[in-house]
């Protein structure tokens, strides 16, 4: 598809999305004529316009003039006028993941998959590669503050990208190497609400990898007796891991840990700005990918020391909220497992602080599927400010609103409050002007807007 003479103009429906914008940027830099539409102009769309994107601030069939190919994401409604028009005119249509899969076929591909941690792991690996002059191409769902954007067309031989399991599209990839960070009970609506079917999909993904798979040891049972052409390397805190994490400690400045190579019987120490055991696992996965590509331990360690925070992944926004010794952490996590990881990290680093969490549930379908798990986790928060569900284009589901969630939580946590919108949450936070507190803005919706009020 890419590289054919009859493909000149490509149009993106919803070009401002994190996944879509990165692919659009790569194609612009590959000298394709690229247009895109989005009802929400943003700094991302402004930047793409500066690179050459023809941007439309609406979804309209007239936007498809002389278009050869239309790219859309699973978030686009089937009644979208541009999608309907493309079908009526027999314009070639492909999903975002399919376009990404085409791009990854152009270079040596390292694909990062998993229910949690794939964005952070990809960011760390891309940083190490850049710092060691590998000049990789990368397309990432999040952003590192030192990166100009979440995508880069490099001159090096590698392409690093995330693969999305939420709609099964990660099975479009046949990577040279891959990382599987975790498998959890999320997006089960795409797998007939079956964890077993989700696991089988990950097995299928692993079997499509050509050379090597790095996998967190919690998924070891998944790969036992697995028939695959790729070598399997496990990592984690378990003593049976091929690469075992030892001597982990963390404080307000970051984390220290050792990594034992059980295969070669070597032990190396690392230092990183990352917080939490979950992020150390992500760091180790990036280390292993880098080692496998020939970067030595000392160069990797040097790169880790210069790695900045990934936006919205346990990102410390301020240590001086309300001009007091109040820390604000902003985190993208929106699954109960991710909330637990964030909470445990805060309690270990700042054991004397009392948590004030402003949490915004993400999607009605996820709230329904994990309702009891959310109640269990959120009921234990010292001071909970619950926002209304961020729908992400979903329609409400009866009995699974934020009000329903709040009423269940109140049975166990009388201090919890329900607010309507970012401004109300900000007003509520002002009731906690005391340095005994630590603020946490949590969720995948627009809670970053709440965090930004304190910048």
The confidence score (pLDDT) of residue 275 equals 94
Do 9-94 and 315-452 come out as alike in CATH topology? no
**pLDDT of residue 5 exceeding 70:** no
DSSP conformation letters of 261-312: ETTTTEEEEEEES--SHHHHHHHHHHHHHHHHTT--HHHHHHHHHT--PBTT
Identified catalytic residue from 25, 45, 85, 119 = 119
d(CA 28, CA 44): 14
User: Residue 211 above 90 pLDDT?
Assistant: yes
Which phi and psi (to 5°) does residue 287 adopt?
A: -60, -45
Beta-sheet strand order (sheet of 417-418): 315-318, 327-331, 437-442, 354-359, 383-386, 417-418
- What percent of the chain clears pLDDT 90, i.e. is strictly above it? 80
Q: Is the pLDDT of residue 3 over 70?
A: no
Q: For the structural domain made of 9-94, what CATH number should be given?
A: 3.40.50.720
Q: Does domain 107-305 have CATH number 3.40.1190.10?
A: yes
Q: Let me know if 118 is a catalytic residue.
A: yes
Task: State residue 4's pLDDT score.
Answer: 56
The CATH number of the structural domain formed by 315-452 is 3.90.190.20
Contact 339, 443 (CB under 8 A): no
| 107 assigned to active site | no
**Which DSSP helix (H) or strand (E) runs through 199?**
helix 195-207
CA of residue 207 relative to chain centroid, distance: 23
Confidence of residue 312 (pLDDT cuts 50, 70, 90): confident
Question: For 395-443, how does the pLDDT look when each residue is reduced to its tens digit (9 = 90+)?
Answer: 999 999 999 999 999 999 999 999 999 999 999 999 999 999 999 999 9
pTM as predicted: 0.91
Q: What is the mean pLDDT of the chain?
A: 93
Reading the block at residue 259, the tokens are 């990594």
118, 177, 212, 277: the active-site residue: 118
Nearest Cα to 451, choosing from 419, 426, 431, 420? Answer: 426
Q: Each residue of 375-384: pLDDT tens digit?
A: 999 999 999 9
> Is the distance from CB of 35 to CB of 93 less than 8 angstroms?
no
For residue 145, is pLDDT > 80? no
Q: Name which of 10-14, 90-94, 188-192, 246-250 the model is least confident about.
A: 188-192
What is d(CA 180, CA 122) in angstroms, rounded to the nearest whole number? 11
Q: What is the mean pLDDT of residues 311-334?
A: 92
Most confident range, picked from 68-72, 145-149, 224-228 = 68-72
- Check if 208 is active-site: no
The answer to whether 220 and 206 have CB atoms below 8 angstroms apart is: no
Residue 313 has pLDDT above 70, yes or no: yes
**Residue count of the chain:** 455
Q: Where are the domains of the chain?
A: 9-94, 107-305, 315-452
- Using the predicted structure, report yes or no on whether residue 323 has a pLDDT greater than 80: yes
Catalytic residue among 108, 162, 165, 293: 162
């Amino acid at each position: 598809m890419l590289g054919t003479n009859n493909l000149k103009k490509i149009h993106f429906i919803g070009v401002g999305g994190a996944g879509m914008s990165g692919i659009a940027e790569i194609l612009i830099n590959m000298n394709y004529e690229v247009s895109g539409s989005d009802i929400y102009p943003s700094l991302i769309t402004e930047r793409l316009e500066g690179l050459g994107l023809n941007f439309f601030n609406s979804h309209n069939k007239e936007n498809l003039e002389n278009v050869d190919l239309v790219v859309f994401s699973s978030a686009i409604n089937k009644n979208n006028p541009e999608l309907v028009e493309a079908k009526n005119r027999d314009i070639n249509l492909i999903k975002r993941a399919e376009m990404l899969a085409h791009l990854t076929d152009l270079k040596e591909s390292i694909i990062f998959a998993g229910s949690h941690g794939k964005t952070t792991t990809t960011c760390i690996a891309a940083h190490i590669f850049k710092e060691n002059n590998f000049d990789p191409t990368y397309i990432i769902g999040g952003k590192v503050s030192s990166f100009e954007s979440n995508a880069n067309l490099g001159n090096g031989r590698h392409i690093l990208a995330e693969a999305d399991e939420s709609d099964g599209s990660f099975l479009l990839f046949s990577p040279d190497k891959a990382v599987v960070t975790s498998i959890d009970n999320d997006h089960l609506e795409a797998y007939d609400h079956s964890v077993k079917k989700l696991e089988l999909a990950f097995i299928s993904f692993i079997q499509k990898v050509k050379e090597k798979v790095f996998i967190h040891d919690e998924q070891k049972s998944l790969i036992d007796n697995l028939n695959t052409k790729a070598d399997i390397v496990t990592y984690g805190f378990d003593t049976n891991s091929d690469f075992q994490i030892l001597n982990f400690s963390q404080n307000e400045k970051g984390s220290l840990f050792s990594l034992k190579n059980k295969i070669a019987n070597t032990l190396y120490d690392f230092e990183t700005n990352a917080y939490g055991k979950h992020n150390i696992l992500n760091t180790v996965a990036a280390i292993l990918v880098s080692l496998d590509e020939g970067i030595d331990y000392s160069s990797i360690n040097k790169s880790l020391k210069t790695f900045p925070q990934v936006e919205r992944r346990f990102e410390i926004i301020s240590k001086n909220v309300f001009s007091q010794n109040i820390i604000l952490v902003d985190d993208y996590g929106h699954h109960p497992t991710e909330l637990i990881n964030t909470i445990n990290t805060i309690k270990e680093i700042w054991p004397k602080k009392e948590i004030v969490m402003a949490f915004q549930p993400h999607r009605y379908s996820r709230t329904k599927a994990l309702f009891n798990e959310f109640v269990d986790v959120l009921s234990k928060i010292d001071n909970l400010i619950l926002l209304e569900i961020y729908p992400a284009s979903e329609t409400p589901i009866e009995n699974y609103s934020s009000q329903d969630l709040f009423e269940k939580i109140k049975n166990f946590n009388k201090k919890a409050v329900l607010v309507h919108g970012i401004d109300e949450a900000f007003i509520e936070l002002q009731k906690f002007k005391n340095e005994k507190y630590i603020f946490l803005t949590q969720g995948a919706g627009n809670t970053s807007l709440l965090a930004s009020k304190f910048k």
